[in-house]
């Protein structure tokens, strides 16, 4: 089965009102080229589920979002995501705010086909106060109450990987695959952008096969987009683009997202990359040191 498609074809599979899960974590390995393709589309009223960064901020700023399901939205070295902040402070979006681990449980419940997973996480906090749909239940086995974290079923998952073959075997070479495996498994349709398309024989090396975190039946479409995580990182290939994020952050104070889009977005990914200095420049961005 050949699952290769273009970014535009990938985004054409998303419809208004869908729930879209986005892989990565904060400023790390986000499928930003696919996000940019959504920015260029007419899509609207999306519900976004993410360990959020600029992916969430940009989608909010461009009016694509009805609701965000999140535990945080942050650029890390710039702690507060400027456009998510604007969206919240103007009351423009609905939210379901949960703990990071609750989100993982919700994705697992969706992946496993169970309606909820019990947890003590969230008890005693405003996570419950502000999410009236989150139910607290009694246990059949003890006398405590438990949060019934509901399945976070995704219509579509968008993920960026290092390499993939045409059949949808995806490799994440970097030090962490984050929760991408659960985002992929929680979705009806998983679309993966990758730095490089490879032959299936690439995965014969067992060390590489161990960097494949879900089986190819989970992957529905593969889009080759080298540099497609920019301005987020794709460790070990490149780090996140600190000057670009600073400019993005500054645009929220002056010019707004329209000015940022005008300057960078372009009609397609080739134009975008040209405007940010080209693929070689992206590939040369150093990895962050913590």
Partner 1 sequence: MTAATEYTLAELCIVAAAEAFRDDGEKLATGIGVIPRLGASLAMKTFNPDLMMTDSEAFMLSEPNPLGNRGDDFVQANETWMGFSRIFDNVWSGKRHAMLGPTQIDRFGQTNTSALGGTYQQPKVMMLGARGFPGNSICHRNSFFVPSHNDRVFVDGECDFVSSIGYNPARLPKGHSLDDVSIHRVITNLCVMDFGGPDHQLRLLSLHPGVQVEEVLDNTGFAVHVPEDVPVTAAPTGEQLAIIAALDPHNQRAYQIKDNPPGMRG
What are the residues binding partner 1 (CB under 8 A)?
Answer: 25, 51, 70-74, 79-80, 84-85, 88-91, 97-102, 104, 119-127, 129-130, 136, 138, 142-145, 174-179, 181-182, 289-290
Q: Which is nearer to partner 1, 10 or 184 (CB)?
A: 184
Please compute Rg for the chain using Cα positions.
Answer: 19
Calpha distance 160→228 (Å, rounded)? 7
Calpha distance 172→164 (Å, rounded)? 9
Helices and strands, number each (H, E), in the chain? 12, 11
Q: Which is nearer to partner 1, 214 or 264 (CB)?
A: 214
CB of 177 closer than 8 Å to CB of 226: no
Q: Which is nearer to partner 1, 20 or 87 (CB)?
A: 87
Q: How far is the CB of 73 from partner 1 (least distance, A)?
A: 6
Q: Which is nearer to partner 1, 128 or 166 (CB)?
A: 128
Q: Which is nearer to partner 1, 117 or 194 (CB)?
A: 117
**Which residues 6+ apart lie within 8 Å of 134 measured at CB?**
98, 122, 127, 128, 147, 148, 149, 150
> Residue 32: helix, strand or coil by DSSP?
helix
Q: Which is nearer to partner 1, 25 or 203 (CB)?
A: 25
Q: Which is nearer to partner 1, 103 or 276 (CB)?
A: 103
Q: How far is the CB of 176 from partner 1 (least distance, A)?
A: 4
Q: How far is the CB of 41 from partner 1 (least distance, A)?
A: 26
Q: How far is the CB of 132 from partner 1 (least distance, A)?
A: 11
Smallest CA-to-CA distance from 20 within 58, 54, 53, 56 is with 56
Q: How far is the CB of 72 from partner 1 (least distance, A)?
A: 4
Q: Rounded to 10 degrees, what is the CA torsion of 34, 35, 39, 43?
A: 80
Q: How far is the CB of 101 from partner 1 (least distance, A)?
A: 4
User: Token pair of 84, please?
Assistant: 């998510």
Smallest CA-to-CA distance from 34 within 17, 63, 9 is with 9
Q: How far is the CB of 110 from partner 1 (least distance, A)?
A: 15
Smallest CA-to-CA distance from 33 within 18, 22, 25 is with 22
């Amino acid at each position: 089965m050949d699952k290769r498609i273009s970014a535009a074809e990938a985004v054409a599979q998303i419809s208004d009102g869908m729930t879209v899960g986005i892989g990565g974590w904060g400023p790390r390995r986000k499928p930003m080229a696919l996000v940019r393709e959504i920015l260029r589309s007419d899509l609207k009223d999306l519900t976004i589920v993410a360990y959020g960064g600029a992916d969430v901020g940009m989608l909010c700023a461009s009016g694509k979002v009805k609701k965000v399901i999140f535990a945080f939205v942050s650029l890390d070295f710039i702690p507060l995501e400027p456009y998510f902040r604007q969206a919240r402070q103007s009351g423009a979006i609905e939210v379901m705010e949960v703990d990071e681990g609750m989100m993982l449980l919700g994705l697992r419940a969706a992946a496993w086909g169970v309606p909820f997973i019990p947890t003590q996480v969230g008890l005693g906090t405003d996570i419950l106060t502000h999410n009236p749909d989150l139910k607290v239940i009694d246990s059949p086995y003890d006398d405590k109450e438990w949060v019934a974290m509901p399945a976070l079923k995704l219509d579509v998952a968008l993920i960026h990987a290092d390499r993939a073959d045409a059949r949808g075997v995806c490799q994440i070479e970097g030090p962490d695959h984050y929760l991408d495996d659960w985002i992929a498994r929680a979705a009806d349709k998983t679309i993966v952008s990758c730095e490089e398309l490879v032959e299936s024989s690439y995965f014969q090396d067992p060390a590489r096969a161990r960097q494949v975190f879900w089986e190819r039946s989970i992957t529905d479409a593969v889009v080759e987009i080298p540099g497609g995580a920019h301005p987020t990182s794709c460790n070990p290939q490149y780090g996140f683009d600190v000057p670009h994020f600073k400019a993005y952050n500054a645009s929220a104070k002056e010019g707004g997202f329209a000015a940022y889009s005008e300057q960078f977005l372009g009609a397609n990914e080739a134009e975008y990359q040209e405007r940010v200095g080209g693929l070689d420049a992206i590939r040369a961005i150093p990895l962050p040191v913590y």
